[in-house]
């Protein structure tokens, strides 16, 4: 259901972008908008991960410089059947984390020093499993595309306000004759509509990553407890880099700009109470405690291969 919803929202955002191009410049404007969208997405596809990591001053680590974190990620990718991503640490007191990269073969995961200092090993494992779930589900690419299209919508809407108002329709009624008022309305409403769709996609993917992350680490309670602690810390510990780059807020596991988020049109993250409740319900359904871990080896036979349902054909219980 979440995949279908994400596809529908992506289609809506793309349609909005093309519609704005058509309103401003007719069929020619729509084609120009399409070319801009393709060019921006191509650039984001190849460079967005490097840009974000550089923006936050992330430092790549290995077994020698951060053995604890790297060993956790190595254990998780083995359980998930994924390639090993690059691992980074960000010097920030706010406990948080994010993943980036165009696909699982070119992915990076990053954790802040605040997260490593304040969370238990089990909680860190839950957080990193969530980020690996984003990589596995290719959410990092989806969110890069949505952020790029949203930015392009804002750019072309502003272009229409300044240059589209004076256009006139041709003899066949084609053209982008919006007028001054129409141009101003497009410049205001279009970016807001794009932001609403972008945030809706982000919230959908967070719920999916929570569920998959719980399966990867083997215990939903580890992630649930980590989310509660991260949410509390976000209230009192600022993330100055994120404040300077609010367009990247959706990348993080919890909102780095503020600790209060509700499931409304303009929130980048789902309500934390809802996320934690869903994870605790998973644990309760499986009869799990804090010390339990779902075993991925030698899954039982039968229609259900573990407490969260039947795995895809030909794969392990959670892989």
The string of pLDDT tens digits covering residues 4-57 is: 655 666 677 677 777 777 777 677 766 776 777 677 767 777 887 888 899 999
Q: Please tell me whether the overall predicted TM-score, pTM, comes out greater than 0.85 for this model.
A: no
Query: Domain boundaries in the chain?
Result: 2-286
What percent of the chain clears pLDDT 90, i.e. is strictly above it? 39
Q: What's the token pair of residue 306?
A: 């573990």
Q: Look at residue 104 in the predicted model and tell me its pLDDT.
A: 92
Better-predicted residue by pLDDT, 297 or 268: 268
Indicate whether 173 pLDDT > 90. no
Which residues are known catalytic residues?
131
Better-predicted residue by pLDDT, 103 or 199: 103
Quote the CA–CA distance of 113 and 241 in Å, as a whole number: 14
Sign of the torsion formed by the C-alpha atoms of 292, 110, 260 and 265? negative
Indicate whether 296 pLDDT > 50. no
- Contact assessment for residue 22 and residue 29, using Cβ atoms and an 8 Å cutoff: yes
Mean pLDDT rounded to a whole number for the chain: 77
Indicate whether 64 pLDDT > 90. yes
Q: Look at residue 36 in the predicted model and tell me its pLDDT.
A: 73
Q: Look at residue 166 in the predicted model and tell me its pLDDT.
A: 46
Q: Look at residue 297 in the predicted model and tell me its pLDDT.
A: 38
Q: Look at residue 46 in the predicted model and tell me its pLDDT.
A: 82
Where helices occur in the chain by DSSP H, the ranges are 2-55, 67-80, 113-118, 121-136, 139-163, 179-217, 220-236, 240-244, 272-286
Indicate whether 196 pLDDT > 90. no
Q: What is the pLDDT of residues 125-155, one digit of tens each?
A: 999 999 999 999 888 877 766 766 666 676 6
- Contact assessment for residue 108 and residue 88, using Cβ atoms and an 8 Å cutoff: yes
């Amino acid at each position: 259901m979440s995949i279908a919803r994400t596809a529908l929202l992506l289609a809506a955002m793309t349609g909005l972008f093309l519609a704005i191009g058509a309103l401003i410049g007719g069929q020619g404007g729509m084609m120009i908008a399409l070319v801009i969208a393709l060019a921006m997405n191509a650039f984001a596809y190849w460079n967005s991960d490097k840009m974000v990591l550089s923006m936050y001053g992330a430092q790549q680590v290995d077994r020698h410089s951060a053995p604890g974190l790297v060993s956790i990620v190595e254990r998780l990718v083995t359980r998930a059947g994924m390639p090993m991503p690059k691992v980074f640490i960000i010097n920030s007191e706010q406990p948080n984390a994010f993943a980036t990269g165009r696909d699982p073969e070119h992915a990076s995961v990053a954790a802040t020093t605040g997260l490593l200092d304040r969370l238990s090993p089990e909680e860190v494992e839950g957080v990193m499993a969530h980020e690996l779930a984003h990589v596995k589900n290719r959410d990092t690419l989806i969110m890069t595309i949505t952020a790029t299209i949203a930015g392009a919508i804002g750019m072309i809407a502003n272009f229409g306000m300044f240059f589209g108002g004076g256009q006139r329709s041709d003899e066949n009624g084609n053209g982008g004759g919006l007028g001054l008022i129409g141009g101003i309305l497009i410049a205001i409403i279009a970016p807001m509509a794009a932001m609403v769709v972008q945030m809706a996609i982000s919230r959908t993917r967070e719920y999916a990553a929570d569920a998959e992350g719980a399966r990867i680490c083997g215990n939903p309670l580890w992630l649930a407890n980590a989310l509660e602690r991260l949410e509390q810390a976000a209230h009192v510990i600022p993330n100055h880099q994120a404040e300077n780059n609010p367009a990247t807020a959706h990348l993080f596991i919890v909102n780095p700009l503020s600790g209060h988020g509700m499931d409304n049109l303009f929130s980048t993250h789902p309500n934390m109470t809802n996320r934690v409740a869903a994870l605790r319900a998973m644990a309760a359904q499986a009869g799990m405690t804090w010390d339990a871990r779902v075993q991925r080896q030698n899954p039982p036979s039968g229609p259900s291969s573990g407490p969260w349902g039947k795995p895809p054909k030909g794969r392990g219980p959670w892989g």
